[in-house]
Amino acid sequence: MVIVMNKNATQAEIENVVATLIDKNFDVHRSTGISRTVIGAIGDKQAFDEREFLVLDGVSEVVRITEPYKLASRTFQQEDTIIKIKDVQIGGDEVVVMAGPCAVESATQIETIAAEVKKAGAKILRGGAFKPRTSPYSFQGLGEEGLQQMRSAADKNDLLVVSEIMDRSQVKIMVKYCDILQVGARNMQNFDLLKSLGKIAKPILLKRGMSATIEETLMSAEYIMSGGNYQVIICERGIRTFEKYTRNTMDISSIPVIQKLSHLPIIADPSHGTGIRNKVAPMARAAVAAGAHGLQIEVHNDPDHAASDGAQSLYPEQFAHLMKECRLIANAIGKKM
Amino acid sequence: MVIVMNKNATQAEIENVVATLIDKNFDVHRSTGISRTVIGAIGDKQAFDEREFLVLDGVSEVVRITEPYKLASRTFQQEDTIIKIKDVQIGGDEVVVMAGPCAVESATQIETIAAEVKKAGAKILRGGAFKPRTSPYSFQGLGEEGLQQMRSAADKNDLLVVSEIMDRSQVKIMVKYCDILQVGARNMQNFDLLKSLGKIAKPILLKRGMSATIEETLMSAEYIMSGGNYQVIICERGIRTFEKYTRNTMDISSIPVIQKLSHLPIIADPSHGTGIRNKVAPMARAAVAAGAHGLQIEVHNDPDHAASDGAQSLYPEQFAHLMKECRLIANAIGKKM
Amino acid sequence: MVIVMNKNATQAEIENVVATLIDKNFDVHRSTGISRTVIGAIGDKQAFDEREFLVLDGVSEVVRITEPYKLASRTFQQEDTIIKIKDVQIGGDEVVVMAGPCAVESATQIETIAAEVKKAGAKILRGGAFKPRTSPYSFQGLGEEGLQQMRSAADKNDLLVVSEIMDRSQVKIMVKYCDILQVGARNMQNFDLLKSLGKIAKPILLKRGMSATIEETLMSAEYIMSGGNYQVIICERGIRTFEKYTRNTMDISSIPVIQKLSHLPIIADPSHGTGIRNKVAPMARAAVAAGAHGLQIEVHNDPDHAASDGAQSLYPEQFAHLMKECRLIANAIGKKM
Amino acid sequence: MVIVMNKNATQAEIENVVATLIDKNFDVHRSTGISRTVIGAIGDKQAFDEREFLVLDGVSEVVRITEPYKLASRTFQQEDTIIKIKDVQIGGDEVVVMAGPCAVESATQIETIAAEVKKAGAKILRGGAFKPRTSPYSFQGLGEEGLQQMRSAADKNDLLVVSEIMDRSQVKIMVKYCDILQVGARNMQNFDLLKSLGKIAKPILLKRGMSATIEETLMSAEYIMSGGNYQVIICERGIRTFEKYTRNTMDISSIPVIQKLSHLPIIADPSHGTGIRNKVAPMARAAVAAGAHGLQIEVHNDPDHAASDGAQSLYPEQFAHLMKECRLIANAIGKKM
């Protein structure tokens, strides 16, 4: 941490800042320039609130110089984390695709879709059994029955399963049926849930919150990792801006940024990132071109009658075409798919 | 819902939209103008996804004309909801103040602060026992012990108690000690938690999420109300913008906006809304001047050694001074405090 | 500037940063801690691009420690700037009100309104003659004729005149008729215009851009001041956020923030800040309660037939009522109006 | 326009809305449903302020159903606009690249860079002679001398020239030296400048403002087009969000969105869109993958000593490598480069 004093800070004010730092176990380096004093403070604590120093008399600015996360940081681990589940590897040279409906609606529906996405090249089946819906009057998912149907459809097609967990009380059941547990954008800072997920042995797919900064997203990863579970995949799914035409604004630049800051895999979800079918393909291609480790895409055999999010779901043939384009783009930047 | 067709939409496209609407149980009014057709659709369902129609061929725009919430709406209930707890009324002519530390740290601390805020005119004691912290390495609260200490401090000073619930599993214990259960900004769309709170008989203080629109905030209130609990208080606590100087940008205009859209009480939290002590007083005054039904303010007897959020906590004497100013402002607009 | 090196930065990388700094005329203080090196750099240049150092090998973070503005800063001038025009003082204890129509439409219109706002207590008449309109098909203002009509109406009622300048070519004519020249939000970074205004002897009312940070707003003030014109009044008029209910989100907290960072007066424009009539009064009151030095409010004698912005204009009687409320609020915080 | 009345709107209120619409020359279609009345209004005016109706008694919501722009709209012209300058075509199947330094610094500098970007495949040389700088103390450009040097360098290398115009007074000189005139993000709503550019016979490159919506961007194009100049190229260069790691958040989804709404070409500027060198390549690739008609990229032979924006400028060899990757991606989606 660097504390910049006001130009006209008094000697007493400077001494008080130094004393406060020492009181909180920081090593102090004082540097007095022509116009003002700058104080460097080095500590070993990951968690402190820099505003505590900002409010001291004579202080002009306080700057944190270490990231507030540690385990998720590229400083802590230089090489990329590669998450291996059966024969699928997420985080390496291959762009891995998760696809499927927004919600599991029936055994027939999920089996039809599973076969389609498998054929087109997906490795992981996605689908919701517990649905976080903005309206209490919307379809809330099939629950365990949906999970059973999805597991069965995935097994028949040699696919892995990823599905969203909404509450700590669902951990046991989710672990039973899924290969990857997904934390939705709205739960990115549901810290009790994150803590629970730190104690299980399954990979977690953590979606960036709608207004979360990249730093906060990595802090939520840190929550899971600090519990002992290091298998975290980050997912960019659009942030909220003033632009009204798209549901969210997909922050494609977060992909290279997170790859620089962290060793964790980062994938993209263009379905929620745009919210509308005909924008999904261009944004999926953009994410691959920017270097994403994978994609999560909503595909439905009958989007017009989907129980939820039909408007952003691709038809199976659109998905198959998109996979071909993405494969060429992956190759163009030295990756495979 | 109003569906605007493209200028060059074909007759077949129009028929298809109409058929789809009928299929989904809407009453259809077609209006053909000089340049394009506009279709009005009236249904009785609260929950539908307008994007389902937006993706149909020939459709240019789809506009929802009813709010997606019902119970929370001023249309449903014209007169203001007034929440009565013992002799305190929230939602009427009196500006009610909730004050106390960010976190309960000890019996002595909470008792000292309770006495101070009572003396200055607060009616409700706030304090966290379960703390949602961005960092897993930060102080996480005292848990039930903290609740006990706060209840005791409140009772000694004839104050009510408001505290934050973080997870569904804490409902029972929170109900035991608190008069009002608070849902934090990060949990505003933790739908499982909201559903649980719909089934209890205590008022809920619902904080607007960091990037939640006003509509989404009212939708979360609707979640609670649809379960049967109509005692919801909304709280504005700042939204995220590009401005870096303040932690959040307090959307003071949400106060009159929510008062127009909804019958629920709306209060303001300038401590989290600004994140820095010397901005709390001007923003508290602004909220009262804009017509807020109440304030929630962090006060600490020793902010420099607070376990959390000390930098945004007022000293007791600052709080007492602020209460005096706010009282005059409340009077200026025909309210009391 | 403080440059934080990576944990694993090599000696050569550190030397290169130091050499680069010296090459660019900075004084260098090196501080080597347990885990990383921090380099302090002190220069006398106001303008440099910190990213030049951020891209050097081994650099983790670069932090500017001086504000990029100087003349506008509280460090440069501790006491408040008070702008005196005839018997009006902006920046002191009095809350000064500017009011009038969005656009001057006719001699009769502006005279009627001038008399009304004067009666209610306004000191300055506002009105546009050159209108920045989002649509090329909208009313573009009366030009010089409008300025003449406004000057005449103001003189008859002993009011000052403030009006918006849109282009450098209008400086001469604006100076002829106006007491204060206004720079609109969309022109806040029209640097050629700002430079021209630095060379005239009239006060400038500088509106914060729709997405400008507070720092950028003060940088634009600096542009004017660096030309020699120190009479700059800042105006908060709402920033763009994701909230759709209001046209903009008025950042009331910018008022105390700017008062801390700068000695320049800061006023608020709740008409543009909200965009809708019934939100103007609560936000005007909030701005006064937060400590604004003044208000700018749109008032129209016949808003339903206004050539522009009728929907956000107050009726004269609404304005008069608002003035009374604001006066009480100003008194509550030790100011007059 | 569709006007939705309140559920409890009176007959008199409905009549008043209808009368007001007729008074303003709208054709009125009234539709009375079970719960409320919806009024359709069709007019031929492009410019009106829907808030005029929103403030009428009994009105719940007002929805515009036509875009506020006309000439820029896909409805007005179905086929893509292709802008031809000598043998370069912008808007067709070829991805056109504009490259060069942020600012022209000397004849040698611009010639060196021109040769490099030509060799790598660029068709157009970019470079600033009049620089919009946030700080009045920063390098402001070489003016006409810079334009001369750039023209000469371009001619020697068979490149076109694009450069930024900052003020209406520069039109004549810019037309003399440039093939395309660029309007910077900060001037996107400098309406006097836009009007001037509507009257010249050179293509205009219009950059999206930092907080401009897509609709506003197209409205600014409309300003130019309404003056008679239909040769407008839109440029996405990042919007402002709360994310602090990148300078701006590049809204890659605006590329397919604008291609749907408008017939005008849309290119991307990843240099300003990210602000940092190592993020330029991934975002350039993403823009091509999303279907952009072109790219504008900053390239400098000696970025470490660039007079401005060195930190976001590519080295010539980085640029050459990027061109190769983009060419493969363009091919993957059926385009050439």
SS3 sequence of B30-92: EEECCCCEEEEEECCCCCCCCHHHHCCCCEEEEECCCCCCCCCECCCCCCCCCEEECCEEECC
pLDDT tens figures, B162-197: 999 999 999 999 999 999 999 999 999 999 999 999
Residue of A nearest to B133 (CA): A191
Residue D225 CA to residue D73 CA, distance in Å, equals 11
Distance of CA C240 to the CA centre of its chain: 15
pLDDT tens figures, D11-38: 999 999 999 988 888 888 787 766 778 8
pLDDT at B5 over 90: no
Residues of A with CB under 8 A from a CB of D: 211, 213-215, 239, 241-246, 249-257, 260-261, 273-274, 278-279, 282-283, 285-291, 325, 328-329, 331-333
**Among B27-31, C296-300, D122-126, D260-264, whose mean pLDDT is lowest?**
B27-31
Residue of C nearest to D53 (CA): C311
Q: What is the DSSP letter of D87?
A: T
The answer to whether the beta carbons of residues D218 and B217 sit under 8 Å apart is: no
Please give the C-alpha separations between residue C264 and each of C181, C189, C204, in angstroms, as whole numbers. Answer: 16, 18, 11
pLDDT tens figures, C158-178: 999 999 999 999 999 999 999
Helix (H) or strand (E) holding B40: strand B37-42
What distance, in Å, lies between the first and last C-alpha atoms of chain D? 43
Residue of B nearest to C239 (CA): B241
Characterize the bridge pairing of strands A2-5 and C27-32: unpaired
Of residues A19, A308, A315, the one with CA closest to residue A138: A308
Q: Residue C232 forms beta bridges with which residues?
A: C204
pLDDT at B311 over 90: no
**Among C12-26, C61-75, C173-187, whose mean pLDDT is lowest?**
C61-75
Chain D residues in contact with C309 by the CB 8 A cut-off are 49
Q: Which of B211, B253, B279 sits opposite C253 (nearest CB)?
A: B279
Query: Given this model, what pLDDT does residue D44 score?
Result: 65
Residue C102 CA to residue C294 CA, distance in Å, equals 18
Query: Given this model, what pLDDT does residue D72 score?
Result: 95
- What is the CB neighbour count within 10 angstroms for residue C18? 17
Query: Given this model, what pLDDT does residue D46 score?
Result: 63
Identity of the amino acid at C24:
K
Identity of the amino acid at C335:
K
The answer to whether the beta carbons of residues B167 and B160 sit under 8 Å apart is: no
Of residues B40, B43, B33, the one with CA closest to residue B17: B40
Of residues A128, A86, A99, A80, the one with CA closest to residue A326: A99
Residue B96 CA to residue B260 CA, distance in Å, equals 20
Query: Given this model, what pLDDT does residue C222 score?
Result: 95
C12 burial via Cβ count (<10 Å: 0-12, 13-18, 19+): exposed
Residue D42 CA to residue D2 CA, distance in Å, equals 9
Predicted ipTM of the assembly: 0.90
Residue C188 CA to residue C65 CA, distance in Å, equals 25
Query: Given this model, what pLDDT does residue C54 score?
Result: 86
Q: Which of A245, A252, A285 sits opposite D333 (nearest CB)?
A: A285
The answer to whether the beta carbons of residues A277 and A311 sit under 8 Å apart is: yes
pLDDT at D82 over 70: yes
Q: For the residues of C10-24, what is the DSSP string, one character each?
A: -HHHHHHHHHHHHHT
Residue given tokens 């719960």 in the structure block: D35
Residues of chain C by 3-state class (helix, strand, coil), percent to 5: 35, 20, 40
Residue given tokens 């960019």 in the structure block: A236
What does the pLDDT average to over B119-131?
96
Q: A181-216 burial, b if ≥16 CB within 10 A, otherwise e?
A: bbbbbbbbbbbbbbbbbbebebbbbbbbbbbbbbeb
Chain B residues in contact with A71 by the CB 8 A cut-off are none
What distance, in Å, lies between the first and last C-alpha atoms of chain B? 43
Residue A250 CA to residue A268 CA, distance in Å, equals 9
What does the pLDDT average to over B214-242?
95
Q: Please answer yes or no on whether C2 and A38 come within 8 Å at the CB atom.
A: yes
Q: Is the dihedral of CA C202, C207, C208, C214 positive or negative?
A: positive
pLDDT at C45 over 70: no
Distance of CA D266 to the CA centre of its chain: 7
Query: Given this model, what pLDDT does residue B326 score?
Result: 98
Q: pTM of this prediction?
A: 0.90
The 3-state DSSP class for residue C313 equals coil
Identity of the amino acid at A23:
D
Residue D309 CA to residue D93 CA, distance in Å, equals 31
Rg of chain B over CA atoms, in angstroms?
23
User: Which residues touch C113 (CB under 8 Å, ≥6 apart)?
Assistant: C99, C100, C101, C125, C127, C153, C299, C300, C301, C316
Q: Is the dihedral of CA B76, B80, B83, B87 positive or negative?
A: negative
The size of the A-D interface in CB pairs under 8 A is: 128
What distance, in Å, lies between the first and last C-alpha atoms of chain C? 43
Q: Which of B29, B33, B240 sits opposite D242 (nearest CB)?
A: B240
Chain D residues in contact with B2 by the CB 8 A cut-off are 2, 4, 38, 63, 65
Rg of chain D over CA atoms, in angstroms?
23
Identity of the amino acid at C79:
E
Q: For the residues of A161-205, what is the DSSP string, one character each?
A: EEEEE-SGGGHHHHHHH-SEEEE-GGGTT-HHHHHHHTTSSS-EE
The answer to whether the beta carbons of residues A293 and A96 sit under 8 Å apart is: yes
Q: A302-325 burial, b if ≥16 CB within 10 A, otherwise e?
A: ebeebbbbbbbbbbbebbbebbeb
Q: For residue B108, give how far its alpha carbon lies from the nearest alpha carbon of chain A (Å).
A: 22
pLDDT tens figures, C123-165: 999 999 998 887 888 888 999 999 999 999 999 999 999 999 9
**Residue B152, token pair as written in the block:** 């005791």
Residue D291 CA to residue D92 CA, distance in Å, equals 11
Residue B208 CA to residue B250 CA, distance in Å, equals 11
Domains and CATH numbers, chain B: 2-63 (3.30.70.1140), 83-332 (3.20.20.70)
Q: What is the mean pLDDT of chain B?
A: 92
Q: Highest-confidence range of A73-77, B46-50, C254-258, by mean pLDDT?
A: C254-258
Which of D242, D245, D251, D253 best tests the A interface by mutation, with the highest count of A CBs <10 A?
D253
Average pLDDT along chain A, 337 residues, taken 10 residues at a time: 85 92 84 76 73 87 80 92 97 98 96 98 96 82 96 98 95 97 95 95 97 95 95 97 89 97 97 92 98 98 86 95 97 95
Q: Which of A211, A246, A290 sits opposite D285 (nearest CB)?
A: A290
**Residue A106, token pair as written in the block:** 């029936």
- What is the CB neighbour count within 10 angstroms for residue D165? 24
Query: Given this model, what pLDDT does residue C38 score?
Result: 82
Please give the C-alpha separations between residue B302 and each of B97, B103, B311, C191, D29, in angstroms, as whole numbers. Answer: 20, 12, 11, 48, 66
Residue D107 CA to residue D175 CA, distance in Å, equals 20
Q: Which of C214, C285, C291 sits opposite B243 (nearest CB)?
A: C214
- What is the CB neighbour count within 10 angstroms for residue A260? 11
pLDDT tens figures, C206-219: 999 999 999 999 99
Chain D residues in contact with A244 by the CB 8 A cut-off are 213, 215
Residue D333 CA to residue A172 CA, distance in Å, equals 44
The answer to whether the beta carbons of residues D294 and D284 sit under 8 Å apart is: no
Residue D170 CA to residue D128 CA, distance in Å, equals 13
Q: Please answer yes or no on whether D35 and B29 come within 8 Å at the CB atom.
A: no
Q: A61 phi and psi, to 5 degrees?
A: -155, 150
Rg of chain A over CA atoms, in angstroms?
23
The size of the B-D interface in CB pairs under 8 A is: 57
pLDDT at D92 over 90: yes
**Among A192-201, D62-71, D93-102, D248-257, whose mean pLDDT is lowest?**
D62-71
Angle of the A107-120 helix axis to the A144-156 helix axis, nearest 10: 40
